[in-house]
Amino acid sequence: MRFNFMSTYKTKYFKNTKKINNTLWLDKLINQLEKKSKGV
């Protein structure tokens, strides 16, 4: 029972971290594109 709970918790946690990593990556990409367009 405890192992099952931990596995479900881990999958939820990893899915959330993946989402957060993707958004951070997108933010970095957008920032780089904005800097290039401004010519900084």
User: Does residue 31 register a pLDDT over 80?
Assistant: yes
Mean pLDDT of 6-28: 83
CA distance 17 to 25: 12
Residues 15-22 have a mean pLDDT of 83
Across 8-19, b (16+ Cβ under 10 Å) vs e yields eeeeeeeeeeee
pLDDT surpassing 70 at residue 1 = no
Closest among 17, 35, 13 to 25, alpha carbons compared: 17
Apex CA 23: angle with CA 12 and CA 38, to 5°? 175
Mean pLDDT across the stretch 16-39? Answer: 87
Distance of CA 15 to the CA centre of its chain: 9
